[in-house]
Structure 1
């Protein structure tokens, strides 16, 4: 994996300036000299979804001609045929088609709520993070005010991982670049923090947003490769991480014989899921494959 944060501005520029796609919506600000994001209701949480509540009237039934049908409402006098309706019946004007009996839509790929209430955004707006954006001529970078290797990883690494579900700048760039710098300079300090990283990663995956999932998968690959023992330490947490990967494993668009640069741009979710699972198996030890197979039945071993 290359520089994940460095590609964000390039892809954003291509989508807006070259392809004409709309820019990302920004959340409301307080419009003060110390600008802060307006608070959101406590009932909103990332990955929240409404349960599918169906009654008996909404479900189809098994009728006498061996097929599923929906219950039709009781006829009113205007629904019966009258004298002179023969021609209308022949033309099909009075023939009401019964609703097709299909299972309800589960909404597995539907975007879920992703409110701007991350702990990273709060600390950045409050000025508690020891960094600032360094604007260079080539690409942006992060100027750390302290030595990265001397930071408290139990505090900062979960905070930065919580910010990877941000979709606004500069929060998204700083969070992603901060995670990369911490993983690069944190040899020997990342393994004890693994239990604290599961909830932020799971929250980012539960948003079901392809833009957030792609960044999360790339950072997961860097996390597994950062230290030797991180792969086996993630095996007990496969039940929290892999269900969403199982949903998006086959999310590979079929464009026929046309050229597709989604793999090169790291925006093909299905390819990123496959690569992440392969790295989990390679670095996860002997128990990795059977646990991956349990959560993702269509996965085949790469070893």
Structure 2
């Protein structure tokens, strides 16, 4: 052959067609919310010891003979190009890996979830094949919470709408399942993806208020207080993430996607429904938070 043929490895693609008859092949090596996707940075030795890295001076940094303007009557016009400093990409705000390996995706593709999408009317709905009151919340509710970090259809819609349906129909059965929901909530928040965090915050607001209509005790909000250490650190990072629009109009305000305002609303819901120990625990993890309960 006259020409040279170069062979390369084919990039692995994730198979997702949205059909329950096709299974998703996801990599099991990446952990959701892990640090594998972050670019490594040089370690600053001066931050951990008294030693300091000093750059060796180069002769090119000094003026040479005939290049200065000293002694001249008229200064020579020189154009200096000022390089704009690139803003620092703080890794605390950067997105983490979010592999498609949720339990909801695996169970839905296997046909083990008693749900199907009802494509009727203006908005899609979930058609439950079993009465929600008869479901085992210890088994199904953590599965739907684990799917909150999904960003592909139909998994994202099934997870979000499924959680809302179970919270509204079976609010009395949610309280014993709270310890099983913490890890899925923490994993979804650790992805640091804005769309996922907004979705989880709206679900948390519905979670702490779902048992108010039964007896008014708000026991779910009090049951979440011991788990603030797992939930609130990510909220403390993004609480100042507000959209500065100046004098313009935010036409998307009705969608409630401003992350900073949504975090404040969620913390206020935690304090109102969390009992007398809620504020001191919120203040310990989010120091900038101010109480809204009038004493």
Partner deviation per Cα, 1:27-52 (whole Å, 9 max, x = no partner):
43489993121221x22111112486
Q: Does 1:210 align with 2:194?
A: yes
Task: Identify the residue that residue 66 of structure 1 maps to in structure 2.
Answer: none
Is the Cα–Cα contact under 8 Å of residues 18 and 154 in structure 2 kept in the other structure?
A: no
Corresponding residue SS for 1:35: coil
Q: Distance in 2 between matches of 1:148 and 1:239?
A: 31
Task: Identify the residue that residue 178 of structure 1 maps to in structure 2.
Answer: 162
Corresponding residue SS for 1:132: strand
> How many residue pairs are counted as aligned between the two chains?
267
Q: Does 1:282 align with 2:272?
A: yes
Q: Could you state the TM-score of these two structures normalised by the residue count of structure 1?
A: 0.78
Task: Identify the residue that residue 94 of structure 2 maps to in structure 1.
Answer: 110
Q: Could you state the TM-score of these two structures normalised by the residue count of structure 2?
A: 0.80
Q: CA deviation at 1:182?
A: 0.7
Q: CA deviation at 1:137?
A: 2.5
Q: Distance in 2 between matches of 1:32 and 1:284?
A: 41
Q: CA deviation at 1:262?
A: 3.6
Q: CA deviation at 1:261?
A: 3.0
Q: 1:182 to 1:272 in 2, by over 3 A?
A: same
Q: CA deviation at 1:59?
A: 6.8
Q: Does 1:37 align with 2:24?
A: yes
Q: Distance in 1 between matches of 2:146 and 2:279?
A: 28
Q: Give structure 1 stretches of 5+ with no counterpart.
A: 1-25, 63-68
Q: Give structure 2 stretches of 5+ with no counterpart.
A: 1-12, 212-217
Question: Which of the two has higher C-alpha Rg?
Answer: 2
Partner deviation per Cα, 1:137-169 (whole Å, 9 max, x = no partner):
321111111111111101100000000111111
Q: CA deviation at 1:189?
A: 1.0
2:261 corresponds, among 271, 276, 295, to 271
Is the Cα–Cα contact under 8 Å of residues 30 and 38 in structure 1 kept in the other structure?
A: no
1:127 corresponds, among 111, 117, 128, to 111
Q: 1:236 to 1:33 in 2, by over 3 A?
A: closer
Report which of the two has the higher share of helix.
1
Q: Distance in 1 between matches of 2:255 and 2:281?
A: 30
Task: Identify the residue that residue 148 of structure 1 maps to in structure 2.
Answer: 132
Q: CA deviation at 1:83?
A: 3.4
Report matched runs for 1:286-301 at 5 Å.
286-301=276-291
The RMSD of aligned alpha carbons is 3.4
Q: 1:92 to 1:59 in 2, by over 3 A?
A: farther
